[in-house]
């Protein structure tokens, strides 16, 4: 049985560049949109207020806090350098 370990929960979606960075260190990006409308404009399936992202690691033996720190630092640096933002 595989177990998932998640980190880096935040609002919005990140582009494929963030997933590419995470994969170099054994993690994967998850972009998820909760159903329903939270913004009050009547959107149902793709409300921007309901977008979240996080990173996950499937195997316990590949999960360590050093990797988490590296992934978060690299994604933050790319976000600043390349202006990574939510998908529109």
d(CA 18, CA 87): 12
Contact 54, 6 (CB under 8 A): yes
Contact 48, 39 (CB under 8 A): yes
Strands (E), the chain: 5-11, 28-33, 51-57
> Which residues lie closer than 8 Å to 69 by C-beta, 6 or more apart?
none
The DSSP output letter for 26 is T
pLDDT in tens, the chain (88 residues): 457 789 999 999 999 999 999 999 889 999 999 888 888 888 877 888 999 999 998 665 555 778 889 999 999 988 887 765 543 3
Query: Which residues face 55 on adjacent strands?
Result: 7, 29
């Amino acid at each position: 049985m595989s177990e998932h370990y998640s980190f880096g929960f935040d609002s919005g979606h990140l582009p494929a560049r963030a997933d590419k960075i995470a994969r170099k260190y054994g993690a994967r990006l998850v972009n998820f949109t909760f159903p329903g409308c939270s913004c009050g404009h009547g959107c149902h399936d793709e409300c921007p207020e309901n977008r979240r992202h996080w990173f996950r690691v499937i195997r316990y033996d590949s999960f360590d806090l050093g990797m988490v720190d590296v992934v978060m630092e690299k994604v933050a640096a790319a976000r600043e350098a390349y202006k990574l933002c939510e998908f529109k």
